[in-house]
Each structure stands twice: as structure tokens, then as C-alpha cells.
Structure 1
């Protein structure tokens, strides 16, 4: 299969494992119609993560108020948030006996708090039903609303992530309604509002960014308090989306991971198949070890 006329390299091929946890979570999806990013985004790491007892859920509907050109989630019209969603997702996490749950959402600029209240309610419900499950949130920028961010942080999730996605030069083409510095400030606000919460961000590579731009972004993330970073290969969902410019080699990912470690990140997850939630539980353990080290 080719993307933008470029043949997919061998290193992007993956075989799904199928252990006991994978079969259990897969069956639950089929029976309950569970909405997870793992399945809806056809994540190449779905089998590996499920087999480890990790899954990523998407809340606040499946329609976004923004038009990022890399994303396969549709835009308008949105619907009012489901008031029972926190209970339903938390119940799914409990029934699946997950060790680590990652919760993300569409961007909801139409809501006064950007959906912060729904995130907060879900964290409370997960802690009630699955007290031993670690909770990772991957949130939108909330339009820079510090009070909305505080609403989430007062429930003390274990990890709070917000992705830069790409370098600032590409924002007009890739994330036209977002702002690079506003996204960085989300991480800074987490550091000041809840210093014990581990911060995380990620970049997709192969979108036309230059090496020096990635290095600058890594420095920016560290300067704004980010502790964990993920670097993965961008793949266009369809030909109508922002088109792939090149495949980044495993050696290049290794080089960037080594650079990130030298910058002082608690953990750097870098590779062609890496996505935001890939090895999420291990990343949390690395961040926790640094906190108590």
C-alpha cells in the first residue's frame, strides 16, 4: 500500500497478538459497541495494548468542532454530552479489568468548559469502580481556559497529556484552529496547578517537518514542564487528509529518543508504530519512578 505515492516500508508491518486479554476486550467491543480509539482509528498496536490490559476510550461524542487535516474524526454537528457517559465508560473499564485506562475526546469548543466537567466526572467514576486502575487523560487545549483545566486536575488523574501533534510552521495546514504556544501553556499550567500529575505530549513525524524543528519542539516541551513525550509516524487516514511527506526511519526515531533522554524527559517513546497511548502503562511507571527517585 502506498501513501502519497510512497511505498510503505517493511518496518511498518505489524502482527496482532491474540492473548487472553485481547480476546476478552475484543469480545466486549463487539457485544457492547464500545467506542474506543483503538478500534475506530484502526491503531496498529491494538492487539499488543489490549493483551496488556490497556485501552483508550473517546468521550464527548464522535464529532469535533475543529477541522484538523490529519484527523479522521468528522466535524459538526455536535450533540449534547451524554450525562451517563462517565458511569458507562467507568463501568466498561471495571468490567474489562483494565490496569491502565487512557481517556481522550473530540475537541468541544461549543461547550462552556470545553468538556472539562465530563473528564472530571469520569475520573471520579473510574476511581470509585476501579481504584487500582491508573488513569491517563489526553485532553484538547480547552481554548486555554485555566479554570476548566483546574476542574480536571482537582480529580487528580495520574497522567495529563496534551499533544502538540506537529511543529509550529505546519500548524496552519495541519491544525488551523489550534495554537502552538497555547498548547505548550496547557502543560505549563498543569505543572503549576498540580505538580504531582505527570505531563505528556506527542508529535507525529513525516508531515514535512525539518529535523531542527523537531529538536526545537522537544526543547519547548521540556521548558514547559512536559515529562513524557511520544514520537510516531504520521499516516494519512485517506487521500483527502493531509498527505504524508515521508517515512521516518527507525534509526531516526532512535536518534530523537536519545536526544530527548539527554534533555531530561522522564521517558521518550519513539518509533514508527508509536501512538499517544502506546506502552502507556510503562510510561506512567517511568514517570512515577522519576517522581520518587
Structure 2
């Protein structure tokens, strides 16, 4: 990044509303987690995505592990995760490393996510399951939520994970229908809905969840339409958060939604029948994931 680009990004950060600034958390809690995951050469989306809530989540004994390396085979225009070159080979020891880390950190609720691995025949679905199995062997009392890519809508891949019975199956729709092509390159709005529909078809008892990221130029009406689409496939839980531009190479923010507007969106979602709603500027997919309303 050139000095000019650095200055421009710093100016954008300084222009962010006050409600988007928060302390990152206790240095001791952050360093403990960082040390354990770095020693084992594993990854968390908390760190790779620079989540603003990671200190709070670590303190509450929750974390989100990023499986199958930090490099994505897709190039979404909003995401901080690395992309643009060949992904790493699968680390066959990763399930044990994650399970050991969960034990050392005393985590009570774990979210497993991954980059898109379109280079793999099953998109990495079997790796999710192996990791879930190891976590359960080492940590019988820990609940596991999954936040998966769309696996190109392959039912067999989705079924493998559903049959492992996660505590919740999360797949993010991310944005409204109109903005999906420029925001989620390689993804399709209806395919994401289909993923959530398939989960319920395979096992109606597993709670499903999705997330919306506002700030790309969507309207309230479009957000409501997306919520209705999610309810039409029996999605149970919803997160709504503010998009914040990671770098000048990513899409610019079109609007900073206010805390009041987030409250209003959350109230609409509750009225629609979502059982678990988190709506706020700093809300992310795994925010308070282990809690029930």
C-alpha cells in the first residue's frame, strides 16, 4: 500500500461514526488465543477477518475457527480473507489441532467456518465433519455451529455436514438480491437460499441461520425482501451488521446505518418470526452465537 493509499484509508477510518469504534478487548485474552493458534498453524476468522468483537467473544469462551487455510478460491469484493492465488493443501492434522486448541482455551461454543474451496471435490465438507468429530472427542461438552460456503449447491456435500448434527447450520446470504453479483462474486442469491432450504429438508430439527451485511447501497425494502426470502426457506436465526471497508481494494461503504436503524431492522425480523436476532453496527455472523433469545 502506498503512503497516499494509507492516508486515504486512515481518513476513511477517522470518518466512521463513533458507534463503530470500540475497544478491542484485553490484551491478555487476545494474546493467549493468538499464541495457541499460531503455534499450531491454524486460523480463526476472528483474526483473519479482524473482527471487532473478538476480545468480547474470547472472554465469553467462544471463537470461530477458519478451516482449510486462509486463502479463498473466490474473490468477494467485501471480504478481508486472502484470495487471488492457489489455496494451501489440506492439513490432515488440522482437526486434532483445532480440538486441542478448543480444549486449551476452554471454549464452550465453537463456530467452524472455512474459505470457499472449490478446488476440492466436496468443497471441504468432509473436513468439516472430521473436525467436528475430533472436537467432540476432546471436548464432549462443547457445542459446534457451522458457517459454511455454498458448496455450489451440492446436496451431497451439505447432507454430510447436516448428518453430523451441528448445533446450528449457518450460511450467509450477505446482501440483497440486486447487489449479490457485485458484492458476492461467484455466489448466487437463490443458491444460498437453496442451501438453507436443503438443510431443513434433510433435518428439520437443526436450527438454520443467515447473515446480512448492510452498507452497500441497499434499501430498507430490499432488506425486508431478503428477510422474507430467508423465512420462506424456514431460516430460524438472523444477524445484521454494518459493512466496513477492509482496504481501498474493497468496495467503498455507501452508507453507515445508525444504531436506531439497526434496532428497527431487528424488530422487523422478530415480527417475521426469526427466533434469534442480532442486529447492530458491529454484529457479525458469530456474534453471541451460543446465546438464545
Same fold at TM > 0.5:
yes
Q: Which runs of 5+ in 1 are unaligned?
A: 287-293
- The answer to whether structure 1 residue 80 and structure 2 residue 115 are counterparts is no
Q: Which runs of 5+ in 2 are unaligned?
A: 1-9
Among 15, 24, 29, the alignment partner of 1:16 is: 24
Matches for 1:1-293 after TM superposition, within 5 Å:
1-3=10-12, 7-18=15-26, 24-29=32-37, 31-73=39-81, 74-282=83-291, 285-286=292-293
TM-score by length of 1: 0.92
Question: Partner of 2:223: helix, strand, or coil?
Answer: helix
CA pair 111-273 structure 1, distance change in 2 beyond 3 A:
same
Preserved CA contact (<8 Å) 1:137 1:160:
yes
CA pair 215-112 structure 1, distance change in 2 beyond 3 A:
same
CA distance in structure 2 between the aligned counterparts of 1:213 and 1:106, rounded to whole angstroms: 27
CA offsets, 1:184-222, max 9 Å, x none? 011111111111211010010011111100000000001
TM-score by length of 2: 0.92
CA pair 262-44 structure 1, distance change in 2 beyond 3 A:
same
Preserved CA contact (<8 Å) 1:206 1:244:
yes
How far the C-alpha of 1:16 sits from its partner, in A, is 3.1
Preserved CA contact (<8 Å) 1:21 1:52:
no
CA pair 236-71 structure 1, distance change in 2 beyond 3 A:
same
